[in-house]
Structure 1
């Protein structure tokens, strides 16, 4: 079994258009959630979100590319460029033949669906662009990354709702650890902040109208976000031999299914995923210093997740730091685990624990150290990242400082 490390990271989200600005915003407890700027927003009951602002696709991509790149693909390519540039890898020869890309997304080209349904049903048009299908398909972003960077190894897309990115990164990790691939580009993206995307989430009645307040007693729902997070996972000896700057080590993962309810979370399912990740990584629970929580800000998720943490970590749960960065960048649905992994890297490399902002009132059912409102300096050598999705799909990654 090979050791696996991260040698490149890239992102674009409501907090920043790159990793440095995102981590700075997280450390400062910046809120990237604000009023939505989109067509027909006045018809929405929910009018806030973690929207990416100032991203000009027209200046980045030519006309032919724009006909193929939905917004979620645009975000992915921007984040992938940053990650691969940082890694210093050039994919050619045998490295290109064996390296691939595994990405997560829940909805794929939601904006493209939305635009073309409008065109047909509202505008009465009988034809759509011939590239609509390749533009909206869930694997579009992974395919374009593979073509852009000559990645000829295993490449595909994972779609497990809000756990998509963690499942994708787990698959990439497994491939590198097993020796199947020397390096993998992995992470996820989402862009559902269009009229149809928000309207669909409104129907669930789990959305907040004013703010995301994970673990706070007065929390009243989640807030959607958008963006991408992309990483280069590389075999340790390969990275070491070429003198790469290693961000951290990915030590293990676990996945579980609640097999119980399509929307309600399960304490036992979440607990099995966390315990399984520790076991896979051969990590003692007392060694974990930080958990990046799924922490959606809904009543059900937050108390269930805290109960699962208490079950898995026992007395050590009271000494753990656990925070939800969704309070700052919103819930990126299928892309959320990828952006949140950055908070784990920041904790391990810089000793900065991202806060849970918007925290106003203690909740006895969430009685853990949720790092309320202000970042904290702390030495952390092991961190885990949780993702618990609708459908009972759970995926947890374990990381170590190196």
Structure 2
């Protein structure tokens, strides 16, 4: 996190996503504009005694087709699904950025791609093989598949990144921490370009049982800020940004999509599941202060908005705490109402949605919001998106454990 010292300006030149409502940025954006929900009945593994039977799964993803252009990383198609998603999103972001490979100075680049869970699909398969099917061994690549830094390593290998390459892990703030750290490396002169974000593929029997036991999953759908909300909906996904110093981007004639103006983070240091108002407030205020703007200059906020009872009320209180009277004028939405909750990848996917909103002058909606819940009395852009000029925007990620992060984006310089 910044300590307030001046540094190089950091810009976004590439975006990439793999989500349940679109496996690339154009399809994802079209689905947001259409208010499409990616929540469907669970499929693809034994459901047995599960009580929660919905999720936002990525279906029909063919790694051999999507990753057929990979040349340096020879085993990417044998990796875990979360690494597939990260690789596909990273490739899209790099192509959008127009970066020439191999990089001119690979030691001046970074690849920070996190995961809150790592290769959980591989874990499940390996345990079934050993304890149900009585196999004597697991797949030879099991260890490499499950490691939480595998996605970062695969992407780094393919694109020749030789600078800092590692994963972050901070539950639902994972991608935002990755983006913030990458921003700091560029701002402070350690690197010139970075690939940053997160990826998750967590939907399997064991994971559903674990989340079901916590009683935070909805059996019906993801309805942030609505009176009818009764839990979140798990999702697969990946969201990746390409970040560069302004000088580096301008020198190569890159199209600059937005400036990453501010990054804030704060820990509640109180409880693993009960959030505070103070932590999210400090994260948002820190990001705004870093951006050198005032709260009333934020036009749109992509909320964490998980559709759990505590989170939505708490985030609303924090927004009021930070923005004061402007909170009631601020356009807010939770795109999780459409793409579900992809855990650590959420901040990356939502950063893409936030930047696209700025680029297209259109703020996405919170679908399923027919009647606001008690205490949820702000403008959450219910059901239908809104055409509006957006200059400065914010994206929040508020994780279990009280790990709060916030990003502020501004117009391209």
Offset at residue 41 of structure 1 (A) = 2.1
Is 1:246 aligned to 2:256, yes or no?
Answer: yes
Offset at residue 346 of structure 1 (A) = 1.8
Cα deviation, 1:40-84, whole Å, max 9, x if unaligned, reads 124321111111122112444689726741000000111111010
How far apart in 1 are the matches of 2:117 and 2:18?
Answer: 18
Q: Give the equivalent residue in structure 2 for 1:363.
A: 373
Is 1:347 aligned to 2:364, yes or no?
Answer: no
Cα deviation, 1:298-327, whole Å, max 9, x if unaligned, reads 000000000000000000101101100000
Cα deviation, 1:196-216, whole Å, max 9, x if unaligned, reads 122211111000001100000
* 2:147 alignment partner, one of 131, 134, 137: 137
Is 1:195 aligned to 2:195, yes or no?
Answer: no
Preserved contact between residue 58 and residue 66 of structure 1 (Cα < 8 Å): no
Q: Give the equivalent residue in structure 1 for 2:53.
A: 47
Moved more, 52-61 or 278-287: 52-61
Q: Give the equivalent residue in structure 1 for 2:408.
A: 398
Is 1:8 aligned to 2:14, yes or no?
Answer: yes
Offset at residue 396 of structure 1 (A) = 0.6
* 2:237 alignment partner, one of 204, 212, 227: 227
Q: Give the equivalent residue in structure 2 for 1:31.
A: 37
Preserved contact between residue 221 and residue 299 of structure 1 (Cα < 8 Å): yes
Which aligned pairs between 1:275-354 and structure 2 lie closer than 5 A? 275-354=285-364
SS at match of 2:265: strand
Offset at residue 330 of structure 1 (A) = 0.3
SS at match of 2:356: helix
* 2:272 alignment partner, one of 234, 242, 262: 262
Sort the Cα spacing of 1:14 and 1:93 in 2 relative to 1 into closer, same or farther, 3 A. closer
Moved more, 326-335 or 188-197: 188-197
Cα deviation, 1:170-190, whole Å, max 9, x if unaligned, reads 000111111111000001110
How far apart in 2 are the matches of 1:322 and 1:104?
Answer: 26
Stretches of 4+ aligned residues off by more than 6 angstroms: none
SS at match of 2:404: strand
Is 1:204 aligned to 2:210, yes or no?
Answer: no
Preserved contact between residue 252 and residue 278 of structure 1 (Cα < 8 Å): yes
- Runs of 5+ consecutive residues of structure 1 not aligned to the other structure: none
Which structure shows the higher helix fraction?
1
Moved more, 78-87 or 88-97: 88-97
Q: Give the equivalent residue in structure 1 for 2:3.
A: none
Preserved contact between residue 32 and residue 50 of structure 1 (Cα < 8 Å): yes
If the length of structure 2 is used for normalisation, what is the TM-score? 0.95
Offset at residue 17 of structure 1 (A) = 1.0
How far apart in 2 are the matches of 1:93 and 1:40?
Answer: 44
- Runs of 5+ consecutive residues of structure 2 not aligned to the other structure: 1-6
How far apart in 2 are the matches of 1:127 and 1:54?
Answer: 29
Offset at residue 38 of structure 1 (A) = 2.0
CA RMSD of aligned residues (A): 1.4
Q: Give the equivalent residue in structure 1 for 2:190.
A: 180
Preserved contact between residue 224 and residue 331 of structure 1 (Cα < 8 Å): yes
Offset at residue 92 of structure 1 (A) = 3.8
Preserved contact between residue 228 and residue 335 of structure 1 (Cα < 8 Å): yes
